[in-house]
């Protein structure tokens, strides 16, 4: 790619990954036409609904940038709201945020999906333990995929989860005393070769001032936007297949939490991904929708447009 490695790839560069192969050519069109009124996927049409202007492809840089800003803004609003002083404020119950970095084990690209399922299972097991259930109020989980090469130039993938957690005063004290990371290490995976593994780590996130919250908001947006590194076309397509249906951002917390506004939900995007990746070449989508899969899988207003054809 011609783009600087420190910069996220452009929509044209991502579209080029999908171009030239019949099975994925239509996804290149989706990304290339993002933001335009005239669409050719899943059929030629002129879009009048502003929400449908975006392609909502999970690897579209423009859509991912918008998702990243929405998530970061949602996090900022929660922290701002928690930080507002009241006449009955108790400093012992003030909001405290900690980052916990949970790396996976370097693996072949073809084994990425299996490792992600294992790591997510560990997170769910931890969530059900009283230690975490009663000390973590809300958690935002971010996935980042990192690429490295072995000594024989073989490609290796390392998935890393970063959890931004709102914690109780007790857990904050545990972090300061070094007890929190010990618990994290106990509850996380144990690699066979720990010497070459970066290991888990945790640190307090400063949120006391508006400037500190600005820095955090920008950092979270950058992390979500750059969750997948630049790579070769073949590596990209392999990882794309392994990440299918996996949320790169997820929220854990009590029901009704303000940290789940509809505009940052991934439900529609993942449902859409299920449909456009099931479709073999894209053009068969309208006909396939009359089969066993049914119209319920088709996102948004495309269902009505297909029925009207």
Is 172 in a helix, a strand, or coil? helix
Q: Is the pLDDT of residue 4 over 70?
A: no
What is the Cα–Cα distance from 264 to 139, expressed in whole angstroms?
15
DSSP letters for 186-227: HHS---S-GGGS---EEEEEP-SSHHHHHHHHHHHHHHHHTS
Q: What is the pLDDT of residues 204-218, one digit of tens each?
A: 999 988 999 999 999
% of the chain beyond a pLDDT of 90 = 22
Alpha-helical regions (H) of the chain:
11-18, 25-32, 61-83, 112-127, 130-133, 169-177, 179-187, 210-225, 233-242, 267-278, 285-288, 302-308
Whether the CB-CB separation of 224 and 143 falls below 8 Å is answered with: no
Q: Is the pLDDT of residue 92 over 60?
A: no
As to burial, measured by CB atoms within 10 angstroms (0-12 exposed, 13-18 middle, 19+ buried), residue 211 is exposed
Highest averaged pLDDT of the listed ranges 16-25, 29-38, 232-241, 265-274: 29-38
Highest averaged pLDDT of the listed ranges 33-42, 93-102, 214-223: 214-223
Each domain of the chain, given as residue ranges in start order, spans 11-55+279-308, 87-262
Residue of 94, 90, 269, 70 lying closest to 172 (CA atoms): 94
The pLDDT, as a whole number, for residue 115 is 92
Q: From the CB of residue 254, how many other CB atoms can be counted at a distance below 10 Å? A: 8
Q: What is the pLDDT of residues 155-178, one digit of tens each?
A: 888 999 999 998 888 889 999 999
């Amino acid at each position: 790619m011609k783009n600087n490695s420190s910069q996220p790839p452009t929509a044209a560069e991502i579209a080029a990954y999908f171009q030239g192969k019949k099975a994925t050519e239509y996804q290149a069109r989706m990304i290339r036409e993002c933001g335009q009124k005239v669409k050719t996927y899943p059929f030629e049409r002129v879009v009048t609904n502003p929400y449908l202007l975006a392609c909502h492809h999970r690897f579209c840089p423009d859509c991912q940038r918008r998702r990243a800003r929405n998530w970061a803004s949602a996090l900022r609003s929660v922290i701002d709201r928690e930080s507002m002083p009241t006449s009955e404020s108790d400093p012992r119950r003030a909001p405290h945020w900690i980052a916990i970095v949970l790396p996976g084990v370097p693996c072949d690209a073809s084994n990425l999906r299996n490792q992600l399922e294992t790591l997510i299972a560990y997170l769910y097991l931890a969530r059900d333990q009283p230690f975490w259930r009663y000390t973590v109020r809300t958690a935002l989980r971010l996935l980042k995929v990192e690429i490295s090469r072995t000594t024989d130039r073989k490609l290796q993938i390392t998935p890393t989860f970063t959890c931004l957690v709102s914690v109780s005063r007790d857990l904050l004290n545990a972090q300061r005393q070094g007890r929190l990371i010990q618990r994290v290490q106990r509850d996380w995976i144990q690699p066979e070769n720990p010497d070459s593994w970066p290991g888990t780590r945790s640190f307090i996130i400063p949120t006391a001032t508006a400037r500190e919250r600005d820095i955090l908001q920008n950092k979270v947006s950058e992390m979500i936007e750059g969750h997948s590194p630049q790579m070769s076309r073949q590596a990209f397509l392999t990882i794309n297949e392994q990440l299918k249906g996996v949320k790169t951002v997820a929220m854990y917390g009590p029901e009704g939490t303000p940290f789940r506004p509809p505009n940052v939900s991934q439900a529609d995007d993942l449902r859409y991904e299920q449909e456009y990746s099931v479709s073999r070449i894209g053009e068969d989508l309208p006909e396939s929708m009359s089969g066993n899969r049914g119209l319920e899988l088709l996102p948004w207003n495309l269902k009505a447009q297909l029925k009207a054809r």
